[in-house]
Amino acid sequence: MGGRRLLITGGSGYLGKALTHSASGHGYEVCATWLNNRPADCPGVNWERADLRKADELAALVSRVRPEVVIHTAYSQNDRPVTYDGTARLAGECSRLEPPPFFIFVSTDLVYDGGAGEYSEDDEPVPLLDYGRDKLDAERAVRLKLPGALVVRSSLMYGLESLPGHLRFATEKIAKGEECVFFTDEYRSPVLVNELAGAILALASLAHPGLLHLAGPDRVNRWWLGTHLLRAFGYPTDKVKPGSCRDQGLKRPPDCSLDSTRAEKLLGRRFTGAVEVLKEYDA
């Protein structure tokens, strides 16, 4: 697959960076997009600024790059014009290429309402949050415009090389000497970002269409994950408190854990569990 033209949207994001570095190392001809902060130069990567809200900009990008593979990771939390409209717009532009590229859309476990947990690809998504609805609508737009596309749903991403974005609120509070709360009644299936990137690139090589879950095998709550990751990055946890989203009256999905058995069988690999990765950071 070396030398194929690969477009990665959201290349400056947490997953985008992992994909960009791995793809360039595997010989892809990589174009990666950014919006607000241009990343440092990376060997083998051409950086392009792109705004998913601007139709002309996207059309020009797709026409210029003419990608053979697209991995679409870019989104903006609670911003439907980016997460849904931008995705539909990008898929539409890609559908006009001849032949159209193999398109991978990175979605979320939050397309589920969290009432059951251990969701498989056969379970009906019923989003509870606006973000989940935007992502689910985007999934449907991609598959309508590009029937051969692959939608992958994942969970909270983490790694030990760089701080994941979902910890920023906690580290900012800790820096100010303030207390922060992680929920004990919200469960997810955290996944190592580099393993996720590797799985996505492997699926790009296979050009496997449809829907797959790509997440870690362990079902853990946000309190467990947050405290372990903070300790892994050297932060004190004396100001970090357990809490309940239900007690605070927040309408959040309680258990969006995913079953990734189907993807593991297809790829012939096992995702590493967070308990195994972070066991040395037990209190």
Largest Cα–Cα distance in the chain? 57
- List the one residue out of 166, 136, 147, 158 whose CA is nearest residue 215: 158
Residue 19 belongs to some domain of the structure: yes
Is the same domain home to 127 and 185?
A: no
| Domain CATH for 39 | 3.40.50.720
Q: Are 263 and 200 in contact (CB under 8 A)?
A: no
pLDDT of residue 3: 63
Residue 267 belongs to some domain of the structure: no
- What share of the chain has pLDDT > 70, as a percent? 99
Residue 107 belongs to some domain of the structure: yes
Distance CA(166)–CA(147), nearest Å, equals: 32
Is the same domain home to 63 and 180?
A: no
Q: Are 58 and 90 in contact (CB under 8 A)?
A: yes
Is the same domain home to 103 and 178?
A: no
Is the same domain home to 107 and 178?
A: no
Q: Which residue has the tokens 């580099």?
A: 194
The domain tally of the chain equals 2
pLDDT of residue 62: 97
Is the same domain home to 18 and 110?
A: yes
Q: Which helix (H) or strand (E) holds 20?
A: helix 14-25
Tell me the per-residue pLDDT of 30-40, one tens digit each, with 9 for 90 and over.
Answer: 999 999 888 87
Residue 144 belongs to some domain of the structure: yes
Is the same domain home to 120 and 179?
A: no
Tell me the residue range of the domain where 23 lies.
5-157+191-213
Entry pTM: 0.95
Share the mean pLDDT of the chain: 95
Residue 268 belongs to some domain of the structure: no
Is the same domain home to 176 and 105?
A: no
| Domain CATH for 250 | 3.90.25
Give the residue-averaged pLDDT of 203-219: 97
Is the same domain home to 206 and 248?
A: no
Tell me the per-residue pLDDT of 151-199, one tens digit each, with 9 for 90 and over.
Answer: 999 999 999 999 999 999 999 999 999 999 999 999 999 999 999 999 9
Is the same domain home to 195 and 185?
A: no
Is the same domain home to 139 and 224?
A: no
Task: Provide the 8-state DSSP code for 165.
Answer: G
Whether the per-residue pLDDT at 1 is higher than 60: the answer is no
Tell me the per-residue pLDDT of 130-157, one tens digit each, with 9 for 90 and over.
Answer: 999 999 999 999 999 999 999 999 999 9
Tell me the per-residue pLDDT of 52-62, one tens digit each, with 9 for 90 and over.
Answer: 999 999 999 99
Residue 21 belongs to some domain of the structure: yes
* Phi and psi angles of residue 22, each rounded to the nearest 5 degrees, phi first: -70, -40
Residue 134 belongs to some domain of the structure: yes
Distance CA(181)–CA(102), nearest Å, equals: 41
Is the same domain home to 98 and 177?
A: no
Residue 266 belongs to some domain of the structure: no
Is the same domain home to 88 and 209?
A: yes
User: Where in 208-253 does DSSP place strands (E)?
Assistant: 210-213, 220-221, 240-243
Tell me the per-residue pLDDT of 87-109, one tens digit each, with 9 for 90 and over.
Answer: 999 999 999 999 999 999 999 99
